[in-house]
């Protein structure tokens, strides 16, 4: 049996972080499900082919990420996949080509790196020892 070496504040911080990760992706997928057509239009405007298909792929990925973050199952691989996804989104939808048209895009771009840092930290440290399914934890 593994002994719990986390303090109460560490356990709380990890659970709050997992809830935040889950909530961010839950909000993202909720907007997709509320108007998949608008998501597809946004994807098309960025120049990607098959926008409706890609919108559905993104929605499915985000649902899986929500499940992983909230349950802890496959947490580390999910955090790594989420990190790659977040950076892809940052460059694709808020990258340097968008900064001249709207300087706020630079802020959105930088925010993706902040999120990336949290996801990488989570990938290294895992879901914590409380309220985490152990399957797939590396």
pLDDT digits (tens, 9 = 90+) for 103-112: 898 999 999 9
pLDDT score recorded for residue 5: 74
Q: For residue 44, give its domain range.
A: 8-125
Task: Check if the beta carbon of residue 135 is closer than 8 Å to that of residue 73.
Answer: yes
Residue 44 lies in a domain: yes
Residues 6 or more apart whose CB falls under 8 angstroms from that of 35 comprise: none
Mean pLDDT over 16-27 rounds to: 96
Residue 137 lies in a domain: no
Residue 47 lies in a domain: yes
Residue 136 lies in a domain: no
> How many domains, the chain?
1
Residue 46 lies in a domain: yes
pLDDT over 70 (residue 4): no
Residue 77 lies in a domain: yes
User: Predicted confidence band at 37 (pLDDT cuts at 50, 70, 90)?
Assistant: very high
Residue 132 lies in a domain: no
pLDDT score recorded for residue 132: 72
Distances (CA, A) of 50 to 9, 14, 35, 54, 84: 46, 38, 16, 6, 21
């Amino acid at each position: 049996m593994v002994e719990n070496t986390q303090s109460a504040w560490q356990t709380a911080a990890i659970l709050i972080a997992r809830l935040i990760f889950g909530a961010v992706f839950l909000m993202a997928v909720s907007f997709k499900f509320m108007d998949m057509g608008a998501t597809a239009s946004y994807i098309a405007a960025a120049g990607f082919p098959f926008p409706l298909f890609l919108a559905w792929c993104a929605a499915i990925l985000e649902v899986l990420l929500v499940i992983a973050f909230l349950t802890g199952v496959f947490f580390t691989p999910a955090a790594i996949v989420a990190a790659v996804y977040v950076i892809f989104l940052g460059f694709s939808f808020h990258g340097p080509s968008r900064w001249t048209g709207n300087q706020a895009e630079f802020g959105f771009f930088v925010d993706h790196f902040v999120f990336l840092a949290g996801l990488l930290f989570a990938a290294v440290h895992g879901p914590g020892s409380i309220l985490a399914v152990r399957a797939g934890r590396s």
